[in-house]
Structure 1
Amino acid sequence: MDLEVRHLRVICAVAEAGSLTRAAASLRMTQPGLSAQLRRIEAVLGGPIFDRGQTGAVPTALGELVLTRARAILPGIDGLLADTARAARCGTAPGRVRLGSVGAPLLADLIVAVRELIPGSEVTTRCQYSPSPLLDDLAAGRLEAAVLGDNPGQELPPREGVALRPVVTEPVFALLPSTHPLAAREETSLSELMEEDWAMPRPDSDRTREYWASVFSLMDRQPYTPFEAEGRQLIEIVRAGLAISLCQATFIEVPGVAVRPLSGNPLWYRHVLAWRRDGPLAPHGDDIARRVGKGYLATCAASPAYARWCERHPNALRLPE
């Protein structure tokens, strides 16, 4: 893991709050999630930054050094971001619409909707694994709109000047090697999957791992996870029969892997559209959400396992009207 600006903000937040519990609340994180992130930051910096005890979190000698540097660095970075955001807004050509997206099935429909509602617009895109940097870019004026996502209990925090519009909440499915015995079933259980080796995204990329762990803890189990991977690499590990994983319900099966629902639907993922309230898409927000919602239904139909799940749960999905 490389040290990032957001890690410096975490360190300063803990120091200002005086405890991990209060800092987690201010950062809209869980206390275990913040503790895990702080341990990773300390591993990068080479030692404990805080002495953590019943009286709270007190900076160590190393922590005081880090805090001194962080407090000197962050104002300059904030000023740079504000200046570049203003410059980007002033220099953006009329009709240019910059879009961002996490790994979700809504981006193409968003592009089509923007081109139809704003004819002649120049649309550009960029993608991130985590929604956090995209939300930062929206708030700073570096994007006009984005496809984001979150999990129950970990909803995206509101940001000034940014509208957040949920599109749909879908179940999380199992991703299995096509030769796995459980792939022969219509659905599988999370408890059965606990017996397998797992491949998962890195815990620092977004809060997906934290959410999964919170659900696993209700079973008093945590899966054995020898493989950390994302995207194509994760799929290849599963395809090779080395591990199982989880995926969005809209994931399209490729040769060698199988997508299956989890019995009882213990895990969920929410797709969210976001746009700047003062941007060119603001007057079209509701219309865009409806158009993207219709496109989502077409994506559901293209995923056989999800299409069958939708037939069995006809009232489960609520899309913008």
Structure 2
Amino acid sequence: MTKEFDVVQLDVHHLRVIRAIADTGSLSRAAIALGVTQPAVSAQLKRLENMLGYQLFDRREGSVKPTPMGELLLRRTAALLPQLDKLLEDIEQRVCPSGPPDVVRVAAVASALVAYLPSLVTRLWPEVAEVQVVHDDHPERLLPLLAQRRAELGLVKDYPGYELEIPENVDTAVVVTEPTFVLLPEDHPLAREESIDLRALRDESWVMVSDSSAATFTKYFADACARNGFSPSVTHQVTSQQVALLVVRSGAIGLSQPICDPCDRGIVTRPLRGDVLPRRHILAWNRETFVAGRQEELLAAVVESYWAEARTAPVYAAYLEKRRER
């Protein structure tokens, strides 16, 4: 079989794979964008390179860069992919104009709500056979999946002053606006307070999750501290909330969503006074898909699930009760 014949075997899936790798800069992030596993992307790329007889990307230290042949292929297909996507979208709308697909894809950031979504979807749409959750803590990468109809539902978060840019064909609804809580060692002097003024923590050592997905919240937090007259001393930068909890036990101060009370020995959770650092949980969907027909019912079900979960977090439940009494 000649190389010229092999090249003809290029299909739209191959083009999506190389485009995703180039756009995201890594095989793992390309896998998230495509809603598949990283080994699947790696295998597709290897098959394509074997078929063409050329290496398309240089791999180095967790990142990839197109080779000259890869750049040539990306340039030649840049205009072709949008046209193919539009054609496939037109065909899909004619074949499946209203009902949900057998497999519904949910693009979501980390949240206690994520676990509820599969059962909520199948409850509202019993004809759905499977719900797949694609997790990524970068909401700016998740919303395009909805716009491109690579996912049917999204659950993301944003912050006042750092609102997300919503694609034109995506609708959203706020599930809840919640406060941010402080994590303290149980022997900290402020652990006995019902709520804590952010300014009382000006001289503390802070632990923050420092991966790129937390960059927006880190800026948001720094701005809030500046408005309260200080710059936080972030002495510990960790890669996960689980590690942050270990550092808090050792004496640092951390932050948490109130619904995610660790309830761990050695740590106490307290609300920040004065509605400091609120965040929004946002439900999102493509307005041209089946979700649009029952979005109000879905939103109500997600909101109900949130408050049911909130009642299981003791400090948050007490905080909400006091708010209702005011």
TM-score, normalising length: structure 2:
0.68
Is 2:197 the counterpart of 1:174? Answer: no
Aligned partners of 1:300 and 1:73: how far apart in 2?
Answer: 48
Instruction: In structure 2, list runs of 5 or more residues that go unmatched.
Output: 1-20, 26-70
> Per-residue deviation at 1:242?
4.0
Give the corresponding residue for 2:218: 209
Q: 2:243 pairs with 218, 228, 233, which one?
A: 233
> Per-residue deviation at 1:81?
7.7
1:156-305 equivalence runs, <5 A: 156-202=164-210, 204-205=212-213, 206-229=215-238, 230-239=240-249, 241-255=250-264, 256-305=266-315
Report if the CA contact (8 A) 1:98-1:125 is conserved: yes
Moved more, 273-282 or 306-315: 306-315
Aligned partners of 1:78 and 1:213: how far apart in 2?
Answer: 42
Paired residue type of 2:149: G
> Per-residue deviation at 1:220?
2.8
Paired residue type of 2:274: G
- The alpha-carbon distance between structure 1 residues 120 and 235, as it changes in their structure 2 partners (threshold 3 A), is farther
Q: Equivalent residue of 1:228, what SS?
A: strand
Aligned partners of 1:271 and 1:264: how far apart in 2?
Answer: 20
Aligned partners of 1:176 and 1:211: how far apart in 2?
Answer: 20
Residues 130-166 of structure 1: CA deviation (Å, up to 9, x unaligned): 2111112111221110111100111222212211111
Aligned partners of 1:73 and 1:117: how far apart in 2?
Answer: 41
Q: 1:150 pairs with 118, 137, 158, which one?
A: 158
Give the corresponding residue for 1:313: 323
Q: Equivalent residue of 1:302, what SS?
A: coil
Residues 227-250 of structure 1: CA deviation (Å, up to 9, x unaligned): 2223322222223x2421111121
Paired residue type of 1:222: S
* Structure number with bigger Rg: 2
Report if the CA contact (8 A) 1:199-1:225 is conserved: yes
Instruction: In structure 1, list runs of 5 or more residues that go unmatched.
Output: 8-69, 317-321
Aligned partners of 1:95 and 1:315: how far apart in 2?
Answer: 46
Paired residue type of 2:123: E
Report if the CA contact (8 A) 2:206-2:253 is conserved: yes
Aligned partners of 1:201 and 1:74: how far apart in 2?
Answer: 37
Is 2:137 the counterpart of 1:134? Answer: no
> Per-residue deviation at 1:284?
1.3
Q: Equivalent residue of 2:180, what SS?
A: strand
Aligned partners of 2:87 and 2:202: how far apart in 1?
Answer: 50
Report if the CA contact (8 A) 1:150-1:271 is conserved: yes
TM-score, normalising length: structure 1:
0.69
Aligned partners of 1:209 and 1:140: how far apart in 2?
Answer: 29
Residues 167-189 of structure 1: CA deviation (Å, up to 9, x unaligned): 11011110122332322221122
Aligned partners of 1:189 and 1:197: how far apart in 2?
Answer: 16
Q: 2:133 pairs with 125, 131, 140, which one?
A: 125
- The alpha-carbon distance between structure 1 residues 98 and 243, as it changes in their structure 2 partners (threshold 3 A), is same
Report if the CA contact (8 A) 1:85-1:141 is conserved: no
Aligned partners of 2:88 and 2:267: how far apart in 1?
Answer: 46
Paired residue type of 2:118: I
Q: Equivalent residue of 2:305, what SS?
A: helix
Q: Determine what percentage of the aligned residue pairs are the same residue.
A: 30
Count of aligned pairs? 253
CA RMSD of aligned residues (A): 3.4
Is 2:136 the counterpart of 1:104? Answer: no
Aligned partners of 2:158 and 2:325: how far apart in 1?
Answer: 21
Report if the CA contact (8 A) 1:203-1:210 is conserved: no
- The alpha-carbon distance between structure 1 residues 259 and 113, as it changes in their structure 2 partners (threshold 3 A), is same
> Per-residue deviation at 1:212?
1.0
Q: Equivalent residue of 1:250, what SS?
A: helix
Paired residue type of 1:111: P
- The alpha-carbon distance between structure 1 residues 291 and 188, as it changes in their structure 2 partners (threshold 3 A), is same
> Per-residue deviation at 1:285?
0.6
